[in-house]
Structure 1
Amino acid sequence: METVWWKLTLALLMLAVSTLAKAPRSCHMEDFIQAVKQVEDEESGSGSEPAAVLRRLRRAAGLNDAFIQHFLPDAALSPDLDADLLGYVRTAVPHGLLGETQEQGVVLTPDGTTVALQPLLLGMEARLLSRTPGRPRGLYQLTLARDLGAALRPGSADAGRFGPDGCWDSLTSPRVFTLSGPASPFTTAQANGAMDGVVLGAEASGRPAGPLRLSSLLTQYYCRGLDARGLDGAPRLISRRRREIFRGMILPPALARQVWRATDLQERLAGRPRTQGGKKKQLMVVKEGLREFVHMFMDCPPIIPRCVWGAEPYRGTPTKLSLPLSFLFIHHTSTPSQPCLTLQQCSADMRSMQRFHQDDRGWDDIGYSFVAGSDGHIYEGRGWHWQGAHTLGHNAVGFGVSFIGDYNASLPTQHAMELVRERLASCAVGGGRLVSNFTLQGHRQVVNTACPGDALYREIQGWEHFGEVQK
C-alpha cells in the first residue's frame, strides 16, 4: 500500500513539474531571456554565438523584409526552433499596434520600463556583423532611423509624433500592454528598445574575442540589482543608464543624416524615385522634427508612470495647472526615511505615501508632482498638468519634487540629485512647463517646516536657479 502511495505521489509530482515547465511565458524580459538561453542551449560551438542566436531569433520572428535584408544576411538559411519556442518568439518579438490602444512586441523589464524587442535584436545583430570601428553598418537605420522617418512624415504630428508610454495588466506576469494615450508612429517602448539595441550592440562588438552568451549580456544589463549607493555605485552598463549612455554615442545632426539615409533607402527599395527637394532641404526638415525626440528621450529623465507603481485613482476633481510655472520646490519624504533602490521598493514607498496623503491627511492624491528614487528613476505623482498639495499656498505656481528618504544628516545619491537638478529641470523648461528663469527653493523657505532636511537644503543652495525668498 505504501509503495502504491509513493508511486501515486511521484506521478502527481511529475505531472505538476511538467505542467509548470509548459506554462506559457509572459511578456517579461526575464522570460524572454530564458527563451534566448533555450536557443543557446540547443546549439553548440558557433551556433550559440550571439550573432547566430540573433539570426535564428530573427528568422523565427519573421523579420526579413527588403530593408532588413539590405543590412543583414537572409535569415531563411537558419535552422528552425521547436514549436513552443517558435510560437513564443513569433508573438513576443515583432513590433506593432493592436487596434488603437495595445502595443505588441514589447516586454516589461525589471527596472519598470517597457522595451520593444525588434529594434533591440536588430541593432545588436547589425553591430555584431560590422566590426569596423566607428562604422556600424545598419545599426541606426535598423534601430531608430526607419521608424523615426515614419514619425517625421508630413501629417504624422497631428496626434503627436512620439510616445506614449503605457500600462501592463500585471507586473508579475505581464501579457497585455495598453498605451496611456493615442498611438503615435514612435512609442516610448520603441525608443527604449532602439537605444538598448545601440548600447548593447556596441558593448557586444567591443568585447574581446572569446565566449559570450547573449543571455548573459541581457541578464547583466537588465537584471542587475543596486547596492546602498544606488546608481552611484552601479556598473556603467545597466538599463537604468540607457539614456545617459545613448546621449554619449550619437549627436542629433548625425542621427538626422541616418534618418534621411533610411528614408532614401526605403524609396529606392520600393522602386520609387528619390525624394525630390534636395538632400540639404530634407535634412533641415528632419533636424527640426528630431528636436522633439531629443527632448523627450535624451533630455528628459525616465519617468515611471502611476500605473506601474500602483497608484490609486485621484479622489475628486483635479485642478489643471496654467503652464509654464515659475517655481520648483524641493522636498524630502522624511518618512519613508531610507532611500529606495529597486522598482518594487520605490513603488511600495509611493503607495505608502499616497495612502498617508489620501487617508490620513484627506488629500485627493499623493501631494508631490514628482518623486525621485535612488533606483535611477523619477516617479510620477500628480505630474505636469495637475495642481499638487506639496507647498502650502504655492501649489498653483510651482512643481513639488521630493526625494525618497530623510536628508537631515545625509544627501540623496548624486545620480538622483542630477536627475532632478539637470534632467527634470531641463525637461520642464524644454517642454514649456517651467519658465527658463524659474526659481528653485526648498520647502522650508516658504512654509514653517524642516523639509527638505538640513543636509539637502545646504546642497540645493548651490544649485542653479536657487533663489532666496523675496522680502
Structure 2
Amino acid sequence: MSRRCALLAWALLALLGLGAAQKDCGPIVTRQEWKARASTCSQKLRQPVRYVVVSHTAGSVCGTPASCQQQAQNVQYYHMQQLGWCDVGYNFLIGEDGLVYEGRGWNTIGAHSGATWNPISIGISFMGNYMNRVPPARALKAAQSLLACGAAQGYLTPNYEVKGHRDVQQTLSPGDQLYKIIQQWPHYRSV
C-alpha cells in the first residue's frame, strides 16, 4: 500500500473514530506531503524535551486532509512571509481531520512561546479557534497519540509536562474551550 493510500485509510479511520494506537507516531503528514516551503531553521532542540506547549492558530478550521494541507500552508506563509521567521513556528499542527501535520518536527526549536519556552519545549498548535468551541475528538486523540509516541520514542521525558500557551505567555491561546480540555490531561501542569 502506498504512503498516500495509508494516509487516506488512516484519515478515514480517524474520521470514523476507529484509529488504533500505533507503536510508531502513526501517520504524520510530512512536510513534503503537505507541500511545505523549505525551512532555513538550524537551531536544534536538546532532547528529551520536558515541556509541551499547546496553542491554537486562532485561524480557520480544517476538517479534511485537503483543507488542512491548505491551512498548514497558510500558517507557514504567514509565519515566514509576514513575520520573517525561518519556518512555520510550531513543531506540529493538529487538524480537525484527526491528522498531525509536521511543522519543525521533534528536533528543531520552534517559535511558538517566546524566548524562554521555545528552546525547552515542543509547540503543538490546533488549527482553528477554540475560544467558543471544542476540537473534535479525533483531533484531541491525534494530539494525545503524538505525545504518547514522543515519550515512547525518547523525544519527550517520561514525566513531560503539558502547558497551555496562556500558562507561559500573556495570550488567549489555546482558546477557553481547548484550555479546559487540556487541563484534564494527565501530564498537564500549570506551573
TM-score (norm 1): 0.38
The total of aligned residue pairs comes to 190
Of Structure 1 and Structure 2, which has the larger fraction of its residues in helix? Answer: 1
Alignment partner, residue 414 of structure 1: 137
Q: Deviations over 1:59-90 (max 9, x none)?
A: xxxxxxxxxxxxxxxxxxxxxxxxxxxxxxxx
SS of the aligned residue for 1:307 comes to coil
1:331 is aligned to 2:55: yes
Q: Deviations over 1:252-291 (max 9, x none)?
A: xxxxxxxxxxxxxxxxxxxxxxxxxxxxxxxxxxxxxxxx
- Please give the residue correspondences for 1:284-433 in structure 2 after superposition, counting only pairs within 5 Å: 295-296=23-24, 300-315=25-40, 317-336=41-60, 338=61, 340-392=62-114, 393-421=116-144, 423-433=145-155
SS of the aligned residue for 2:181 comes to helix
TM-aligned CA deviation for residue 107 of structure 1: 6.3
TM-aligned CA deviation for residue 349 of structure 1: 0.2
- Please give the residue correspondences for 1:51-450 in structure 2 after superposition, counting only pairs within 5 Å: 106=2, 108-109=4-5, 113=7, 231=15, 234=16, 236=18, 241=19, 244=20, 295-296=23-24, 300-315=25-40, 317-336=41-60, 338=61, 340-392=62-114, 393-421=116-144, 423-450=145-172
Of Structure 1 and Structure 2, which has the larger fraction of its residues in strand? Answer: 2
SS of the aligned residue for 2:154 comes to coil
CA contact (8 A) 1:301 1:377 kept: no
Gaps of 5+ in 2: none
The share of aligned pairs that are identical, in percent, is 34
TM-aligned CA deviation for residue 223 of structure 1: 9.5
Q: Which has the larger radius of gyration?
A: 1
4+ runs deviating over 4 angstroms: 221-224
TM-aligned CA deviation for residue 323 of structure 1: 0.3
Q: What letter matches 1:312 in structure 2?
A: R
**Cα distance in 1 between the residues matched to 2:17 and 2:87:** 36
Which of structures 1 and 2 has the larger relative contact order (alpha carbons within 8 angstroms, sep 6+)?
2
CA contact (8 A) 2:52 2:163 kept: yes
**Cα distance in 2 between the residues matched to 1:410 and 1:108:** 31
Q: Deviations over 1:211-230 (max 9, x none)?
A: xxxxxxxxxx6896x9xxx8
Gaps of 5+ in 1: 1-104, 115-220, 248-293
**Cα distance in 2 between the residues matched to 1:466 and 1:349:** 27
CA contact (8 A) 2:88 2:103 kept: yes
TM-aligned CA deviation for residue 295 of structure 1: 2.5
SS of the aligned residue for 2:33 comes to helix
TM-aligned CA deviation for residue 235 of structure 1: 7.3
The two structures, once aligned, show a CA RMSD in angstroms of 2.2
